[in-house]
Amino acid sequence: MDQVVNPPKAESDTSIEAALGLDRKGVSRKRRRFWLYALLAIAVVAGGIALYRWYAAAPPRIEYTTVPAATADLTVEVSATGTLQPLTQVDISSELSGIVRSVAVNENQQVKKGDVLATLDTAKLEVQIERATASAKAAAAAVEDAKVTLQENENAVVRASALTKRGMATDQSLEAATATRDRSKAALDSAEANLAIAQADLKAQQTDLAKSTIYAPIDGIVLTRSVDPGQTVASSLQAPVLFVIAADLRNMELRAAVDEADIGQVKPGQHARFTVDAFPDRPFDAEIRDISYASVTTDGVVTYNARLEVDNGELLLRP
């Protein structure tokens, strides 16, 4: 009986590589695993070295600066608020009532002493001056008439006295002549007094005419102007302020309200620094000129006014 024997099948390359532990490229899995472990070990060693150097490094060096002990001034700061004002400020008013005829200056204009600021209408004043002039002339004429009369009566007394001595006139006529002379003297005195009154009235009217023109009393700058041409000025009760003139603004005054708790530390001659809202980042220098002894109480807070001199050469500060 015939027996059929089947030959063994040839194993594929894939099964052989699997049995030998090889990948498709022929690299051993064990070698791949070895390199992986080696890289991991190197990383661990490098990390350890880095940590060792980090902790073993020397701490940062601390340096100290020393100076010899010595005595010095201790600066104490005192804070206060205040306002800037010109050293000299003049409020100009009118002593007369009337209508403003012209205004010669504007605000922020520089003026010199004696410059015309404004003029009032002078028509009424000129009429009054003419009347006063006429009255003065009439009074002067009355004085001359009284002098002539007195001279005449004095001559009459001399004649009456001579006639009385000769027996050609009575004593009564001499007494009458003497009385007439005395009355002439009194009339002359009255006429001279009337002349003085008339001349005084004339001077008063002329003074009012001069006051109708308003002049600058100082050199400075016009801060405010409160009048316009055609405006009526009434100064019967209180003289109105028409102009405000400040002297040279290159030198100003700072008036600060110092709290009573700090007033003992503030003295004249001390230097100070201050700032204003217009220039918050720029300090300005000042020097304390004097401190008021009178206190000011505001809402229960007691303060003392200190006046400081400020150099405003750059004209940055304004009152």
pLDDT tens string 172-204: 887 888 888 889 899 999 999 999 999 999 999
Report the run of H or E that residue 36 belongs to, with start and end: helix 29-56
Same-domain pairing of 52 and 133: no
φ/ψ (deg, to 5) at 300: 80, 0
Does residue 74 form part of some domain?
no
Residue-wise pLDDT for 198-255, tens only, equals 999 999 999 989 989 999 999 999 999 999 999 988 877 677 899 999 988 888 999 9
Task: Tell me which residue range forms the domain holding 167.
Answer: 122-211
Give residue 300's Cα distance to chain centre. Answer: 27
Residue 267 has pLDDT above 70, yes or no: yes
* pLDDT of 113: 93
3-class secondary-structure state, position 235: coil
Q: Which residues of 79-99 are buried (b: 16+ CB within 10 A; e: fewer)?
A: ebebebebbeebebebebebe
Provide the CB-side half-sphere exposure for 157 (13 A, CA): 16
Which of 187, 211, 235 is the C-terminal boundary of a domain? Answer: 211
Does residue 30 form part of some domain?
yes
Mean pLDDT check: name the lowest of 85-89, 114-118, 170-174, 251-255: 170-174
* pLDDT of 54: 67
Residue 11 has pLDDT above 50, yes or no: no
Which of 159, 180, 211 is the C-terminal boundary of a domain? Answer: 211
Does residue 226 form part of some domain?
no
Does residue 91 form part of some domain?
no
Rounded distance, CA 21 to CA 152, Å?
Answer: 174
Which of 211, 243, 271 is the C-terminal boundary of a domain? Answer: 211
Does residue 61 form part of some domain?
no
Residue 60 has pLDDT above 80, yes or no: no
What amino acid occupies position 67? V
Q: Alpha-carbon dihedral of residues 83, 86, 90, 92, nearest 10 degrees?
A: -70
Report the run of H or E that residue 197 belongs to, with start and end: helix 171-211
Does residue 251 form part of some domain?
no
Number of domains making up the chain:
2
Cβ-Cβ contacts under 8 Å for 72 (sequence gap 6 or more): none
Does residue 268 form part of some domain?
no
* Burial class of residue 294, CB neighbours in 10 A (0-12, 13-18, 19+): exposed
Beta strand segments in the chain, E: 81-86, 89-93, 98-103, 110-111, 116-120, 213-215, 220-225, 232-233, 241-246, 251-259, 271-276, 279-298, 301-311
Cβ-Cβ contacts under 8 Å for 136 (sequence gap 6 or more): 195, 198, 199, 201, 202
Does residue 232 form part of some domain?
no
- pLDDT band per the 50, 70, 90 thresholds, residue 28: low
Give the pairing of strands 81-86 and 232-233: unpaired
